[in-house]
Structure 1
Amino acid sequence: MMRLEHLNLVVQNLDASLAFYRAAFPHWQVRGGGEGEWHGVQRKWLHFGDEYNYLSFNDGGKGKMRPNEGYDLGLAHFAYVVSDLKSLMARMEQAGFEIAIKGREDTYSDSVYYLDPDGIEVEFVQYLTDIPSERNRYV
């Protein structure tokens, strides 16, 4: 078996990032954190997730993200499967976050994209079928 355990994100502000991801994942918690030096720079870090998956945040990020609409190298977005997209959207709106992109309409899935406080694009998708051939259509 192989699965993705975590993503390590460099952010500008830990609290701002936590506000976004707490709205998206209310069942997750801060698993741990601390301070350390990374290539001569002091920074704080924390792990936010559940027992099996988490996001690692490291503060002190500098510079700008690649343009999401461009073709520059780098991460374009990452996605999470959710069981109730409407509830997620309501939580995000209540926390003050707006949808950046509405995914394409499809019989078998629905999705939305948000930008986190640092401009990282995060997709949330709800599949409306358990049949793999319907979930994995490329039309």
Structure 2
Amino acid sequence: MYLEHVNLVVRDIPRALSFYQAAFPDWYVRGSGEGEWFGKPRKWLHFGNEHQYIALSDHGEGSNRALNGHQVGFAHFAYVVNNLAALISRLKEVGFEIAKPGVATLHRDNVYFVDPDGFEVEFVVYYSDVASQRNHYD
């Protein structure tokens, strides 16, 4: 089993895509189209690879939940990357700064960014293939 996609409702697809294209330079637009969601027109786009993707729909209104609050909702989602420093550099080049540093350990390092629509995305790199080291909870 694996997670195939995350579906995000955003306000502006090109703006959201600028973040995800910098984060995942090897991904591509798999498909796009237009439709209606409960009476409201929307555009949609799938950005990813053959195995996984992020679905973006542009019919979003209002603001995302406060990330420092206690509201029910999406807290964050995370991706494992091979080179965290390169990812940070690419995101900074297109105007995104680290929202929260992670907690570096001997076997893992991570950071959090917030995309243009307020979704928090964690990026993590592992320096070990040993599960007990990667998943250490001290």
Same fold (TM over 0.5): yes
Q: Which TM bucket (shorter chain)?
A: over 0.9
Q: Which residue of 1 aligns with 2:72?
A: 73
The 5 Å alignment of 1:1-139 reads 2-139=1-138
1:17 partner letter:
A
Question: CA offsets, 1:3-36, max 9 Å, x none?
Answer: 1100010000000011000000000000001000
Deviation (angstroms), 1:64: 1.3
Q: Secondary structure at the match of 1:37?
A: strand
Question: CA offsets, 1:31-64, max 9 Å, x none?
Answer: 0010001100000001000000000000020011
Deviation (angstroms), 1:96: 1.1
1:96 partner letter:
G
Question: CA offsets, 1:67-118, max 9 Å, x none?
Answer: 1111110110000000100110111111111000010121110001000000
Where in structure 1 do 4 or more consecutive aligned residues deviate above 4 Å? none
What are the ranges of 5 or more consecutive residues in structure 1 without an aligned counterpart? none
What are the ranges of 5 or more consecutive residues in structure 2 without an aligned counterpart? none
Q: Secondary structure at the match of 2:30?
A: strand
Q: TM-score, normalised by structure 2?
A: 0.98
1:34 partner letter:
G
The size of the alignment, in residue pairs, is: 138
Paired with 2:54 and 2:63, the residues of 1 have a C-alpha distance of: 20
Identity %: 54
Q: TM-score, normalised by structure 1?
A: 0.97
Paired with 2:104 and 2:85, the residues of 1 have a C-alpha distance of: 14
